[in-house]
Amino acid sequence: MQITALGDSALIVRVRDQFEDAPEETLNEVFRAFQLLRDAGIPGVIDLAPAYTSVAIFFDPMVVAKVSGKPGELFDWLTEQVRKIVTAGAHRGRRVRSTRTVARPVEIPVCYDPGFALDIGRVAEQAQISTSEVVDLHSRSEYRVACIGFVPGFTFLAGLPKNLATPRRDVPRKEIPAGSVGIGGAQTGIYPLRSPGGWNLIGRTPLQLFDPIKDPPTLLCPGDRVRFRAISREQFAAFAEGSQNDN
Amino acid sequence: MNAVVTQAGFLTSVQDLGRTGFRQFGVSTSGALDPFALRVANVLVGNDESAGGLEITVGGLQLRFGDERIVAWCGGEFDVQIGSRVLPAGHVAHLQRGKELKFVRAQIGCRCWLAISGGIDVPVVLGSRSTDLRANFGGFEGRALRDNDVLPLRTWPGSPPPATGISSWTAPHDWASRASRHPNLRFIRGVDWSRFDDVTIQRFTQHEFSVSPDSDRMGVRLDGPELKRQDKTDLISEAVAPGTIQVPPSGKPILLLGDCQTIGGYPKIAHVITVDLGIAAQLRAGDGVRFSEVTLQDAHRLLMERERDLERFRIGLSLQRA
């Protein structure tokens, strides 16, 4: 575990150096550290941000200075607390498995219709398979939310079958519709909001991924296990209409 | 009660001290790019420090008040008028019903923050009244203000002040107005400092960088000597924060501000310290900026000194009002 200052009001706890060689175990460790830190409620800690191999901790230096009683060494004090919490939890986890991360399974309906899948041909060409095989492969795999970022609710999913990996588009699109499912390098993800973006679009979900008035504001949370279920254009329309009626 | 936006200006938005606690969902801080300036302005008008105010970019805002209000602003060097009178930064003005407040334009710097007694009464979304201009939620209908918008204001809990007009006393000058065309920003070493060689570090700390026109609330884009990394390995994305200076492959650094993404994959060469973020928030195209290193302990000490001074100022102000 490596702890580095991210400015004077945040720090990064790197749980591992690498991600690609063991994504599943790395994410388990990251989310265990995340949960332990969240449950510990260190005074002055105001936000936590897990991502791939790390958990960032945002803090109010004034509060930490007060609580630590050592205003001049508040960073060292905080680092020590973090180490204690994460390592103690790791030992406990190994012994009784009580803190094992429970990953929530979520199914996301996706319409892979050519009208939505603007770049599926590029992905198929890259993988040297047919577009229907791309759909099969993409919707048969299980993914894990490695982190959420870029815009609120944008999910970076780990677990894309290796041959579907496709480089980002050279020229990003200025506007991508909300719900678009894309492939960017070795990752797949969903655009929650209309936004610019450079990923290869292969489908669209009718679900709303980000809603600021809900708690939590995102449909998917870091660590969730995700599966895509292929739906038809008609089912997509019915879904979209149904969710409109909910409002 | 309310204020009518007779002219919205270049870019005006409702902001408070920002959104925290939702980074795991990818939600940015947003908020006043100089939270300290908004705090000072709020303290001046007798508000809670975290009350919602307005962030005014470049200028052009004109407001007409539906009832009596106290206002104060802090930030860049703006020309602000109440009728034919000038309202300087850090002063307090008592406005009668129907009066107009006008932000003409910034001479130096590009942003300022206006506090109105009572605060702006927009709904709290994800713990904040700030507008997220990238994701379009929070603030006033999730967007920048437009001409003829009607801003709801909260009733001011305090008693109406005895004096009218513009106060003769003021907030300390370096709080009220922090803009400079050639500022120096203090930084602590970045998470990826050691990925840069001596030549690059020397370039970063000894040259002036000029602010590029495509800067916005997400970040200040800088032009200057190319900053190059030693290694070529792809970095794993991790958290970034307002103040982080990241170096994309182009070699042109970006200093992140309040609307920045929650995570990033570019190496982080440095982090501007919290007390200097307000200076960074004033940078506009053509300005020159230099960077100088301080220790993490110094960054914390400077922050604590400023907080202590603000606390004294607040106590002094409440004694004066009593």
Task: For chain B, list the domains and their CATH numbers.
Answer: 2-178 (no CATH), 184-301 (2.40.100.10)
Model confidence at B163: pLDDT above 70: no
Domain boundary, last residue among A76, A96, A116: A96
Clarify whether residues A127 and A235 are in a common domain: yes
Report d(CA B44, CA B310) in Å as an integer.
11
Average pLDDT, chain B: 94
Chain-chain contact of B26 with A149 (C-beta, under 8 angstroms): yes
**Which residues of chain A are within 8 Å of residue B136 when distances are taken between CB atoms?**
193
Q: Which residues in chain B have Cβ-Cβ distances shorter than 8 Å to A195?
A: 134
A30 backbone dihedrals φ, ψ, rounded to 5°: -60, -45
DSSP B46-74: T--TT--EEEEESB--EEEESS-EEEEEE
Flag if A12 and B239 touch (Cβ within 8 Å).
yes
Residue numbers in B near A12 (CB within 8 A): 191, 238-239
Is A122 found in the same domain as A59?
no
Stretch 136-155 of chain B: residues touching chain A, C-beta under 8 Å:
136-138
A55 contacts A33 by C-beta, under 8 angstroms: yes
A110/A227 same-domain check: yes
Regarding whether A129 and A83 lie in a shared domain, the answer is no
**Whether ipTM exceeds 0.85:** yes
- Residue A205 pLDDT greater than 90, yes or no: yes
Q: What is the pLDDT of residues B282-301, one digit of tens each?
A: 999 999 999 999 999 999 99
Q: What is the pLDDT of residue B12?
A: 98
- From A36, A62, A96, give the residue that closes a domain: A96
Claim to verify: residue A82 and residue A110 sit in the same structural domain: no
Of residues B306 and A102, more confidently modeled: B306
List, in order, residues 6 or more apart from B93 with CB less than 8 Å away: B70, B71, B72, B82, B87, B101, B165, B166, B167
CATH code of residue A130: 2.40.100.10
Write out pLDDT tens, residues B182-215.
Answer: 999 999 999 999 999 999 999 999 999 999 999 9
Instruction: Give the residue with greater pLDDT, B55 vs A241.
Output: B55
User: Which of A8, A12, A154 has the CB atom closest to B26's CB atom?
Assistant: A154
Does A137 share its domain with A191?
yes
Q: How far apart are CA A17 and CA A29, in angstroms?
A: 12
The answer to whether residues A54 and A142 belong to one domain is no
Q: What is the pLDDT of residues A28-74, one digit of tens each?
A: 999 999 999 999 999 999 999 999 999 999 999 999 999 999 888 99
pLDDT for res A212: 96
pLDDT-derived band at A96, boundaries 50, 70, 90? very low
- In this prediction, residues B123-130 reach a mean pLDDT of 98
Residues A115 and A80 in one domain: no
Compare CB distances from A61 to B27, B137, B300 and report the shortest one's residue. B300
**CATH code, A67:** 3.30.1360.40
Residue A103: its pLDDT value, please? 80
- Percent of the residues in chain A that have a pLDDT greater than 70, as a whole number: 94
Q: Supply the pLDDT for residue B159.
A: 60
How high is the pLDDT of residue A97? Answer: 46
Residue B311 neighbours by CB distance under 10 Å:
11
Residues A229 and A190 in one domain: yes
> Residue B134's closest chain A neighbor by CA?
A151
SS3 category, A15: coil
The answer, yes or no, to whether residue B173 has pLDDT greater than 90, is no
How many structural domains are present in chain A?
2
Task: Give yes or no for residue B322 having a pLDDT over 90.
Answer: no
Domain end call among A46, A67, A96 = A96
**Do A212 and A147 fall within a single domain?**
yes
Reported as a pLDDT band with limits 50, 70 and 90, residue B234 is confident
Q: How many residue contacts between A and B have a Cβ separation below 8 Å?
A: 145
Quick one: pLDDT at residue A247? 46
Q: Are residues A6 and A29 in the same domain?
A: yes
User: Do residue A15 and residue A111 come from a single domain?
Assistant: no
How far apart CA B179 and CA B78 sit, in angstroms, is: 10
**pLDDT band per the 50, 70, 90 thresholds, residue B169:** confident
What is the predicted pLDDT for the residue at A243?
72
Residue B254 in tokens: 């970006």
pLDDT category at A101 given cuts 50, 70, 90 is low
Banded pLDDT at B162 (limits 50, 70, 90): low
Tens of pLDDT, residues B258-291: 999 999 989 999 999 999 999 999 999 999 999 9
> Is the pLDDT assigned to residue B161 strictly greater than 70?
no
Domain residues for A80?
Answer: 2-96
pLDDT category, B109, cuts 50, 70, 90?
Answer: very high
Residues of A in contact with B300 (CB under 8 A): 8, 61, 65, 71-72, 74-75
Q: What value does the mean pLDDT take over residues B76-99?
A: 93
Q: Residues of chain B with pLDDT > 70: what percent? A: 98
